[in-house]
Amino acid sequence: MTRIITQGALAALGLAFATVFTAAPGEAQEKIRVSVPSQDITAFCMGIRIARHPNFPEPSRKYKLDFEVVAMPIPQVPVNVANNQIDIGECSGISTVLNAWNKGAKNLMVFAFGSQLPVYQLVASPDIKTLSDLKGKNIGIPGIQSAGAETVEMILKRGANLLPQRDYDFVSVGAASATMAALMAKKIDAIPYFPPFTYELEKLGYPPLADAVTYMPQYVTGTHVASRSWAEKNRAHFVGLLKAIVETGDWLKNPANEKEVVAWFAENVASGGKDKLEPRFAQRMYDFYIRDKRLSLDGYAPEAAVRANLDILKERGYLTDAEIPPLGQVFDFSYLNQALREMGRPQVQEYAK
């Protein structure tokens, strides 16, 4: 069972926030308070989102998981997790997490990722045929430090020697739906987007111009964070969630389940348009994410992949070496390893502390 509370409703509740979400002293908390940027199932949070989806109930039933869902903008997530206002936050970003950590949010840890390879594609207006054609153009992004902006900058720098401000301009246009609308209204010339939403644009005459994986062979997205104090207090419950994520990944990647997974995508994943996701696009989505192994189906990504993200942040001027702590202090896979041990599976390599 999942109860959804919007950020606006939280503001209206004021002090009632603590009443709704805080367990009595010494009482084991039953519901997991989880923040989400939206209800869409995307590559950034696919594994964890499906693991707790009402139309995929077995993991939650098996591990007795119940959720209180809060709609919350990504930049607010790390601090709210560190302050125990929420227990876990889905789909944050590495730069946002490190910024909060360096400002004192030490009760914060990354416990899983959504994807282990790039998932963005660069989609442009039909008259733009090559990356070089984007010189002098405007490119819509969710925000300047977003994964979308990082992706665009690396694709154009590495693929066409184009740099922002010098050769093209970024335009912040907000969330995915607003980005798509701005492109179709010709207010911008290109956007970073991801399947299956790119399929909807392709159907309307906007085919992908480039795939980020060509220019960024390692890159993680969908940084899931948890409160350390909550995780330790509710360790068995939290490990149960990680087991649910692992078993959901098993279901997704098992070739014997392909038809079932594709059908589930078609029924439950938003298309980005007015109609339901077409079966042909659900199949392409399966090929893109599952067959190409872009998702982190157990929540893990190797340290080298995270280092690739950090190198991009440094290259863009948003991070220095001095601002990078020992990664094992921030990225904690000990809970995942406990889940894997208890499931009789090989453990993952934890990052150096």
Domain containing 30 — which CATH number? 3.40.190.10
Whether 347 is covered by a domain: the verdict is no
Q: What is the largest CA-CA distance in the chain?
A: 63
Q: Which residues contact 90 (CB under 8 A, 6 or more apart)?
A: 34, 35, 36, 37, 44, 45, 48, 49, 114, 222, 224
* 324 in the same domain as 236: yes
Check whether residue 245 and residue 143 sit in a common domain.
Answer: no
Considering its fold, how many domains does the chain have in total? 2
Is residue 337 scored above 90 in pLDDT? Answer: yes
Average pLDDT, the chain: 91
> Containing domain of residue 184, as a range?
121-214
The answer on 157 and 90 residing in a single domain is no
Q: Does residue 312 sit within a domain? A: yes
Which contiguous run of DSSP H or E holds residue 265? helix 258-268
Strand ranges for 46-124 from DSSP E: 66-71, 88-92, 108-115, 121-124
Distance (Å, whole) CA 110 – CA 107: 10
pLDDT at 75 over 60: yes
pLDDT for res 190: 97
Task: Quickly state the pLDDT bin for 8 (edges 50, 70, 90).
Answer: very low
Q: Domain boundary at 214, 246, 274, which? A: 214
Residue 123 pLDDT: 97
In this model, does residue 107 exceed pLDDT 60?
yes
269 shares a domain with 202: no
Specify whether the CB–CB gap between 48 and 114 falls below 8 A: yes
Q: In 10 A of CB 262, how many CB atoms?
A: 21
Domain boundary (214, 242, 265) is at 214
Residue ending a domain, choose from 165, 195, 214: 214
pLDDT tens-digit profile of 300-325? 999 999 999 999 999 999 999 999 99
Q: Which residues of 20-38 are buried (b: 16+ CB within 10 A; e: fewer)?
A: ebeeeeeeebebbbbbbbe
More confidently predicted of 15 and 34: 34
pTM: 0.89
CB-side exposure of 153: number of CA atoms within 13 Å?
23
Residue 353 domain flag: no
Task: Answer whether residue 90 is part of any domain.
Answer: yes
Tens of pLDDT along 236-256? 999 999 999 999 999 999 999
Domain membership flag for residue 350? no
Task: Report which residue type is found at 83.
Answer: N
- The answer on 226 and 113 residing in a single domain is yes
Q: Are residues 307 and 257 in the same domain?
A: yes
- Asked if the structure places residue 156 within a domain, the reply is yes
Q: Based on the number of CB atoms within 10 Å of its own CB, is 164 exposed (0-12), middle (13-18) or buried (19 or more)?
A: middle
My answer on whether 23 and 145 are in the same domain is: no
Residues 103 and 133 in one domain: no
The SS3 call for residue 164 is strand
Residue carrying the six token digits 């992949």: 305
pLDDT-based confidence at 273, cuts 50/70/90?
confident
Question: Is-contact 114 88, C-beta < 8 A?
Answer: no
**Residues 38, 8 share a domain:** yes
349 in any annotated domain: no
Grouping H, G, I as helix, E, B as strand and the rest as coil, residue 238 is: helix
In a shared domain, residues 227 and 283: yes
- Same domain flag for 326 and 229: yes
First to last CA, the chain: 37
The conformation of residue 133, written as its DSSP 8-state character, comes to G
User: Do 146 and 63 share a structural domain?
Assistant: no
151 φ/ψ sector (left φ>0, alpha ψ -120 to 50, else beta): alpha
In a domain, 352, yes or no: no
- Return the DSSP state at 43: T
